[in-house]
Amino acid sequence: MTRAAPGGLLDPATHAWLVRHALPGARLYEVDPLPGGFTNDMALLTARPAGAPGVERYVLRRYRPHSGRVPRNPCAVEVAVLGRAAARTVPVTPVVAADPHGRVTGRPTLLYRFMDGIPLGRVLAEGPASGEARDLGRAVGSVLARIGRVRLPRPGAFADPSLVPAADGTPPLGDLPGFVDRCLAATADGPLSDTDKELLRTLARRGAPALAAVAGERSLVHCDFNPKNLLVERRAGRWEVAAVLDWELAFSGSPLFDVGNMLRFAHEYPPDFTTGFVEGFRAGSGRLPADWLRISRTLDLFALADILTAPPDPAYFARTLTVLRRAADGRP
């Protein structure tokens, strides 16, 4: 018997799409809500496919309308991004079926296989030994280099599933000082103090000129490449990345966006993880200019501005505010 998830995740139209199209003839057992769906509805689906001897697990993703200041890819574009990344041996979740425009289910819907693995954040929080942390870092850096080797026609946000950005090459988030000002103006009564607002503005103004060096780059950027979106596992005694999750923010630009994202909370990780991450990225032909650390941290100010003015929760706001203040003090 199917246990329906909250919020109508398994309404009659979606149920019919699953058993008639996505998993023809399958028997559905349970649909349980998955945590972490801040912008979309996520559920874990347990089913027995037709003719299969046992049950399998899938992730059901229902897309919500979005009008935020950070562009998000619609279902059809995310499916195309997953396909392009997989073609370059990036470990991603295999797509089983999609109703990209919601013509059958009523909302854009994606079904992909559930991937076994351990969230990287959990492994890092357990304080792995030096050698183990370095192996983890190398595995993560190597996968990021593979993502960066996916080349696109020009920089910019994806206009459609062709993954050809708009011809003007406009960055998805615009200029950094302007983006920070828009974030602050939209949440004038938010949790950020006046002092910290000025810190954010100052860092954006000072760092913006350095971004000219990467303005024309046109690699695939995940744009949320951090421990919560990476599953890892041990294979033959070594850590490997099992899957890179959640590509709804992906665009064409500089891989240093993702470097800055991964190292945002580097002060919380074992130092050898960062060492291994840089080694793995370079070994995978990831290009790091001489001032890569400064550029990557400046690029991450786009994310910091968004988080600090619209935080998902108080704990994450506090962690991110610490990053801002460390950057203002010149600390890594």
At 36, is the pLDDT very low, low, confident or very high (cuts 50, 70, 90)?
Answer: low
Q: How far apart, in whole angstroms, are the C-alpha atoms of residue 21 and residue 3?
A: 20
User: Nearest-CA neighbor of 14 among 36, 37, 55, 45?
Assistant: 45
pLDDT of residue 169: 64
pLDDT of residue 5: 41
What's the angle, vertex CA 246, arms to CA 110 and CA 134, rounded to 5? Answer: 145
Kindly report, residue by residue over 205-233, the tens digit of the pLDDT: 999 999 999 999 999 999 999 999 999 99
Q: Which of 143-157, 167-181, 309-323 shows the lowest per-residue confidence on average (mean pLDDT)? A: 167-181
At 113, is the pLDDT very low, low, confident or very high (cuts 50, 70, 90)?
Answer: very high
At 243, is the pLDDT very low, low, confident or very high (cuts 50, 70, 90)?
Answer: very high
pLDDT of residue 4: 44
Q: Which domains does the chain have, with CATH numbers?
A: 6-113 (3.30.200), 118-328 (3.90.1200.10)
Kindly report, residue by residue over 4-14, the tens digit of the pLDDT: 443 345 899 99
Asked if 299 and 256 count as a contact pair (C-beta separation under 8 A), the reply is yes
Q: How far apart, in whole angstroms, are the C-alpha atoms of residue 280 and residue 191?
A: 37
Model's pTM, two decimal places?
0.94
Q: How far apart, in whole angstroms, are the C-alpha atoms of residue 169 and residue 91?
A: 28
